[in-house]
Chain A
């Protein structure tokens, strides 16, 4: 629990910081997107801390490209 709370607090603090920094430079859109991605990253970190089952992105890629790479690899290993 401790690390998770620390992460969320950290995210909150950074969000405030980002917001102020960007507002100072009249970059509201940038600030908003930065905060969005920040929370996305924190979500992934918290998910990892909670040991939620997460499918590795590499598996998604492997699934999509399966019809291409499987025959090539078979050729390399076979011949």
Chain B
């Protein structure tokens, strides 16, 4: 590996991007979200998850359109082109705040889960800190490394989800899903609300990652992303379906970690028992990806806003910041529940959909586009170099 591989830039394929998108959408969402949706839509939550899929693609389409106009720039950069330097920086600042908050929330989720289920006596900051060490390293290495890790995690995640779905077949009570549409369509439609913020609008991270696509892969992008959206939507439907049929509506509503509870029921002839830790493994893998991407977006946007030559110097301080942030971000578990269910969707949609949409509208209005290469400059050499001795080949 070249020492400077992925130092400031990397290139990823559209396949890798779609897998990252899938892991991002699943992480936190498929494991925490079903409770929220079930509490609104009751036994029709699977319909909600189905209805959400077109919204997912629509949101991502906005980012793709912006990407077409500014193929090699992240939002931090084209915001300045569209709205002027200072207003653009202000917009980027809101995104920086958004991603920092998101990182704190996600870290809070995973720390909370590990703390309650597995390591009750260990201080939360230690669990969070240990997690962030690996995140910091991943972000430091760059988006390529994250993408390759994502490919491995993708395979494992699919495998475990398939395994869990299969082994739960004998624990399903399909009649828990009846009666369908007890309160008409209002139930499933209202159930969409939590999903809008979590994970849909959070996919705005794509605005920071899309410029990293290899040039030759750009044509496949739409198709790959389409598959990813379908797959994550499908997994969401399957998990909602399983949750209600195995646990029943009331218990699914009451358990914050409903997928974990459901996996506790796996029992094949008393031999395949107590395998719920697989769910924990999937969760940690997907949350890792989500956090890595979030921190990466955060650091890239911040360093572009400050016109730095590389994002690497900010990785460590930002990761350090997210740990105490994860501890102060919620007062208690009730605050966590109500915030995630009620407020986050509105804030995330405002930040992740409305804001980019407005940028897109202004860009179209004034026909702004730029093929400028906004990526970070090549690794700065230690000593002045002659033309022949350029920096290391980028990954």
Choose one: B193, B309, B324, B342; the contact of A30 (CB below 8 Å).
Answer: B309
Q: A56-B329, A57-B325, A72-B193 are in contact. Are A29 and B380 (CB under 8 A)?
A: no
Within 8 A of A (CB), among B102-136: 104-105
Main secondary structure of the interface of A (DSSP, over half): helix
Residue-wise, chain A 5-26 has the 8 Å CB interface mask toward B (1 for contact) of 0000000001000100110111
- Bound state CA distance, A37 and B303, in angstroms? 12
CB proximity of B171 to chain A, nearest CB, Å:
31
A27 to B380, CA, bound (A): 9
Q: Check if B388 is an interface residue, CB within 8 A of chain A.
A: no
Q: Give A40 to B324 CA distance when docked, in angstroms.
A: 11
Q: Which positions 17-76 of chain A face chain B at CB distance < 8 Å?
A: 18, 21-22, 24-27, 29-31, 33-35, 37-38, 40-42, 44-45, 48, 54, 56-58, 61-62, 64-65, 68-69, 72-73, 75-76
Check A76–B101 contact: CB distance below 8 A: no
Interface string of B174-203 (1 = CB under 8 A from A): 000000000000100010010000000000
The reply to whether the CB of A79 lies closer than 8 angstroms to some CB of chain B is: yes
Report the separation of the CA atoms of residues A73 and B312 in the bound assembly, to the nearest whole angstrom.
41
Bound-complex Cα distance A17 to B344 (A) = 38
Residues in A with CB closer than 8 Å to B335 are: 56, 58
Check if B327 sits within 8 Å of A48, measured CB to CB.
Answer: yes
> For residues 272 through 311 of chain B, which have their beta carbon under 8 Å from a beta carbon of chain A?
303, 306-310
- A58 with B186: CB separation less than 8 A: no
CA distance A50 to B342 in the complex (A): 31
Docked CA distance A29–B331 (Å):
36
Contact B329 A69 (CB under 8 A): no
The one of A14, A56, A76 that contacts B40, using a Cβ cutoff of 8 Å: A76
Residue of A nearest to B383 (CB): A26
Q: Is the CB of B308 within 8 A of A58?
A: no
Known: A33-B306, A44-B321. A69 touches B342 (CB 8 A): yes
Whether B339 sits at the interface, judged by CB under 8 Å, is yes
The residue of chain A having its C-beta at the shortest distance from the C-beta of B193 within the complex is A76
- Residues of A within 8 Å of B318, CB to CB, are 37, 41
Task: Give min CB distance, A41 to chain B, whole Å.
Answer: 4
A-facing mask of B328-343, CB < 8 A → 1, else 0?
Answer: 1111000100010011
Cα separation A33 to B302 with both chains bound (whole Å):
10
Q: Is the interface of B mostly helix, strand, loop or mixed?
A: helix
User: For residue A33, which residues in chain B have a CB less than 8 angstroms away from its CB?
Assistant: 303, 306, 308, 313-314
Interface presence of B3 (CB below 8 A): no
Flag if A34 contacts B327 (CB, 8 Å): no
Whole-angstrom CA separation of A11 from B186 in the bound complex: 54
How far is B104's CA from A48's CA once the two chains are assembled, in angstroms?
15
Bound-state CA distance A25–B345 (Å) is 42
- Report the separation of the CA atoms of residues A75 and B320 in the bound assembly, to the nearest whole angstrom: 40
Given the complex, which residues of A lie within 8 Å of B317, measured CB to CB?
34-35, 37-38, 40-41
The residue in chain B whose Cβ has the minimal distance to the Cβ of A61 is B347
**Residues of the B chain whose Cβ atoms lie less than 8 Å from the Cβ of A73:** 342
CB of B234, distance to nearest CB on chain A (Å): 25
Contact A40 B321 (CB under 8 A): yes
Binding site for B on A (CB under 8 A): 14, 18, 21-22, 24-27, 29-31, 33-35, 37-38, 40-42, 44-45, 48, 54, 56-58, 61-62, 64-65, 68-69, 72-73, 75-76, 79
Q: List 24 A-B contacts (CB under 8 A).
A: A18-B316, A24-B382, A25-B380, A25-B382, A27-B380, A29-B309, A30-B308, A30-B309, A33-B303, A37-B318, A44-B321, A48-B324, A48-B328, A56-B331, A58-B329, A65-B346, A65-B347, A68-B346, A69-B346, A72-B346, A76-B40, A76-B190, A76-B193, A79-B186
